[in-house]
Structure 1
Amino acid sequence: MKVILSIDAVRFPLTGIGRYTYELARHLQGSSEITDLRFFTGKKFLPELPQVTEEAGNQHKLKQWVQSSYVATEAYRLLMPCLKARALRGNKDFLFHGPNFFLPPFAGPKVATFHDLSPFTWSECNTPQRIKYLQKELKKTLKYADALITDSEYTRQELSSYFAWPIDKIHAVPLACGPEFHPRSADELTPCLQRYGLSSGKYSLFVGTIEPRKNIMALLDAYAMLPMSLRQHYPLVLTGYQGWRSEDIHQKIKQAEKEGWAKYLGFLPAEQLPLLFAGARLFAFPSLYEGFGLPVLEAMASGIPVVCSNSSSLPEVVGEVALMSEAQDINKLSELLAQGLQDDTWREWAIKKGLERASVFSWSLCAEQTTHVYKKIMVSSS
């Protein structure tokens, strides 16, 4: 098989979709079933998979400017597909994979990965112009794709139901986390944690984009219900890229920081994140909606017990290992946070079972299952 993989998402900040694209690209390079793998970004092919910088460059600043302007967004939406189509001419014997929802005009077989339906079902969690852009482009993807990939069975069923798409043409391929997420000794963690004024096993952790969909306000409210002595002994540490409508969330975090039981670290370099996970006593993730929920998997792989919501795809990822509640049930969430911090019997069980659960997921398996999808598309289109 000959495959063109779009790697537009492999850029700063490397959030969930960027990490998926990068790891998929890296592992597809070792596939014996792919004879020619080409990486495509913007309107050009790249000779190799790029490394992601840890700082915002000019390209990231330009993207932010485009997204802030309706005229610029529409100009980009109308012009870029034409430029991509021109660059892709003469490659219809390749299969094109858009791992970040989008598909450009392309004469050969096409598949796109839909990570979630938030642009349609959670449209209040982004700017109106960004939502309009996403909805227009994703509907085009649905019109032209030969097949779709989702990160979870939950999203597969949701996608089929919402758009009346044939379920047999949607394939659930679970994500994974890298080997850098694993249990570590306190001595190994000390240099990194000291930089942030933290100690191993002495804090709870949230990792994710700071935005309403992650339900951080509810997490802060639930944490505030714990005894002050417990909160100060195990402060809530939050890290993630600043997202849409985050002003009220940051204000609430600052108030908790003043009270001495929370700390926001900003967006951390990729190499520090596994250390922060491994040093936590508890991982808290009460998200309202996820297409997969990679942070809970990274926590389990790091040997950290998990408290999360029972929404969307999260139960599919954690199985029976995590303590779960309704996302908006603040009283129950607070009870589970207290149990997760203090119940040593449950914690010992959760650490052991979490490591077992995490071992089921791997990027090599993700790439293998993705290749199977490619084969099905190539057979049906021949």
Structure 2
Amino acid sequence: MRIAFDASVLQAPRTGVGEYTLQLGQALQQLPEMELCLFDGLGWPDTFPQTPRSGYGRTSRLIKALLPGAYPARRALMQLRFNQGIRRLKPELYHQPTLWPLEFDGPTVMTLHDLTHVHYPETQPRDRLREIERRLPASLQRASRILVDSRFIAEEAIQHYSLPADKLQVAPLGAAPRFHPRDEHELQECLTSFGVGMRSYYLCVGTLEPRKNLKLAVGAYLGLPKSLRERMPLVIVGGAGWRQEQLEYIPARELSSGRIRLLGYQSGECVAQLLAGAHALLFPSRYEGFGLPVLEALASATPVIACDHAAVPEVAGDAALYADAEDSDGYRTQMLRLIEDSELQERLRQGGLERSRQFSWERCARITTDTYKAARYS
């Protein structure tokens, strides 16, 4: 089956949706019945881009600042280049793995990862939000099938957009091979470069934006005894989101002392090593359609302390510790439990590994392939 597969999101620095696009696409390419025609937003390359386009963020910000209506203009150009390739390649089906599809005269599958634009519209650029609100409802109605990452998002989509249940298919994500348990020797160079030791730091991973609820993790951490904070820093990895969350709630003394460390955006391999070496992943997000860093931590045998909201419990099950997204004291209690109870640490590490084996990109690709077939013959 020849599939037009939109990989244009990989031109930008890779976050969760980019990781989904790359890992799913590569897993699909391993299936003998699949032939992917990759569209990168401007052309049709033979392989997936492994790194973002040089200067993408700077160029994108400049275009948006200088060109009113940049999103519609960019979409029009993408549609033109897309049409040119479609006429030449003649795919049987089109999959848009990010948000809203381009126009295609044939079966279309799209992936709806979450409804962030509904619950947290302030995290979207205004012109992008207008485009989502204008295009997404019609795209969902027009799509032959809709993939979602979790049952939680399927239920939200059915309720909010009045979609028939049989139009949606849950295809849980996987963890890339780089997320696996590692010993101290393997991690020594990475950990030394950041001045931390094996299992001696807390880690937060995610784009810096309000829905990630970083303030909860920071507040809980600041409530720990100072002696504990001095030997267990809080390391925060993540690039700036739209209207980057202001971090005034982090005291300057914590930053200057190194007890809280902001590393900014890091490469995928660096994140994998930091996850494998952490005492725990703190994942306080208020809203997730899946929560990929949680699964990646479980696959790395790293305990997770998360909020009991949205899709995260669906992913982690009983292999994580939970607290309410508004309860800093409850979150701190879970952090102290994990510090004080070595048996709990080991149970979560082993339980996380077992839980992570229920998820894989191969499984996601198989479900996606079945969805393609259903869309093609519906």
> What interval of TM-score do these two structures reach, taking the shorter chain for normalisation?
over 0.9
Give the Cα separation in 1 of the matches to 2:70 and 2:49.
27
Percent of aligned positions that are identical: 35
1:10 aligns with 2:6: no
Rate the CA distance shift 1:184–1:142 in 2: closer, same or farther, 3 A: same
- Corresponding residue of 1:261: 259
Q: SS at 1:316's partner residue?
A: helix
Deviations 1:256-312 (A, max 9, x none): 313542111111122211110111011100101001000011111111111000110
Rate the CA distance shift 1:192–1:288 in 2: closer, same or farther, 3 A: same
Q: 1:361 aligns with which of 359, 362, 371?
A: 359
Give the Cα separation in 2 of the matches to 1:164 and 1:373.
20
| 8 Å CA contact 2:4, 2:37 repeated in 1 | yes
* Of 105-114 and 36-45, the range deviating more from structure 2: 36-45
Shift of 1:344: 1.1
Q: 1:300 aligns with which of 286, 298, 301?
A: 298
1:65 aligns with 2:98: no
Shift of 1:243: 1.0
| 8 Å CA contact 2:215, 2:249 repeated in 1 | no
Give the Cα separation in 1 of the matches to 2:112 and 2:349.
31
Shift of 1:93: 5.0
Deviations 1:167-210 (A, max 9, x none): 11011100011121111111111111111111111100011101
**Structure 1: tracts of 5 or more residues without a match:** none
- Corresponding residue of 2:316: 318
- Corresponding residue of 2:272: 274
Give the Cα separation in 2 of the matches to 1:159 and 1:49.
30
- Corresponding residue of 1:51: 50
The amino acid of 1:377's aligned partner reads: A
Aligned residues: 377
The amino acid of 1:72's aligned partner reads: A
- Corresponding residue of 2:336: 338
Structure 1 residues 75-224: aligned runs within 5 Å: 75-89=73-87, 94-224=92-222
Give the Cα separation in 2 of the matches to 1:139 and 1:43.
25
- Corresponding residue of 1:30: 30
Task: Give the TM-score of the pair, scaled to structure 1.
Answer: 0.93
Shift of 1:3: 1.0
Q: SS at 1:4's partner residue?
A: strand
Give the Cα separation in 2 of the matches to 1:305 and 1:208.
17
| 8 Å CA contact 2:12, 2:56 repeated in 1 | no
Task: Give the TM-score of the pair, scaled to structure 2.
Answer: 0.94
Shift of 1:217: 1.1
Give the Cα separation in 2 of the matches to 1:325 and 1:338.
13
4+ residue runs of structure 1 moved beyond 6 angstroms?
Answer: none
Give the Cα separation in 1 of the matches to 2:137 and 2:87.
23
Give the Cα separation in 2 of the matches to 1:283 and 1:366.
24
| 8 Å CA contact 1:92, 1:109 repeated in 2 | no
* Of 1-10 and 120-129, the range deviating more from structure 2: 120-129
